[in-house]
Amino acid sequence: SQTIHQWPATLVQPVGSPLSLECTVEGTSNPNLYWYRQAAGRGLQLLFYSVGIGQISSEVPQNLSASRPQDRQFILSSKKLLLSDSGFYLCAWSVAAGGVETQYFGPGTRLLVL
Amino acid sequence: LAKTTQPISMDSYEGQEVNITCSHNNIATNDYITWYQQFPSQGPRFIIQGYKTKVTNEVASLFIPADRKSSTLSLPRVSLSDTAVYYCLVGDFYGAGSYQLTFGKGTKLSVIP
């Protein structure tokens, strides 16, 4: 069966510090991968998605970036965090079954920028 | 993408059936309807997905009328552990990549003992 891992689970960082969040998927090959952010009391906002190694598409301009160095690894980064970067970050992967795709989410990383 | 509208919150007693309706008047021919459940500080969990009529799995049922402009998620005999936020999503999930998912604020279901 497929599993998705995210770490760390919780992170407290000062403004201006760098960020690196990691997501890995097991049990599947060539998945589509996604990074979402959820601000407190709000819905999920798609940040990045990737359909293959080295292929990254950005949905929202920001000081965040994403990379996919391996097939099942997706990394979210920032060189300098802003207060507004605080939130709940979720990684997801998708698979197509019968032509229809379904996204499955990881446990998330809660980031607090102070 | 079709915009969705669902109630902000709902309350229900334990053991009752809960129906959450989602409106999606601009649904396109290729669009599917998907529901997710999210507990606090956890990632959304896939519940059910459908295109038309009725879909049932071990967790819930999804009712979609012929015009597909709305859908209803039905949770049978809810328990306290069903207290969560439920999201309705509509999109072209067929083959092209579901990266166009858009999550709204969802419906916060509170189950009362």
CATH of A3-109, one of 3.40.50.2300, 3.10.20.30, 2.60.40.10, 3.10.28.10: 2.60.40.10
Question: How many Å apart are CA A69 and CA A48, to the nearest integer?
Answer: 15
Q: Is B14 helix (H, G, I), strand (E, B) or coil?
A: coil
User: What is the predicted pLDDT for the residue at A101?
Assistant: 76
Confidence of residue A45 (pLDDT cuts 50, 70, 90): confident
Give A-chain residues touching B104 at CB under 8 angstroms.
43
> Which residues constitute the domain of residue B43?
9-112
Domain containing B34 — which CATH number?
Answer: 2.60.40.10
With CA atoms as reference, the chain B residue closest to A101 would be B93
Number of domains chain B contains: 1
Is residue B3 assigned to a domain? no
pLDDT class of A91 with cuts at 50, 70, 90: very high
With CA atoms as reference, report the closest residue to A106 among A14, A57, A33, A30: A33
Chain centroid, CA B85 distance in Å? 10
pLDDT more than 90, % of chain B: 73
In 3D space, the residue among B56, B90, B92, B95 whose CA is nearest the CA of residue B76 turns out to be: B56
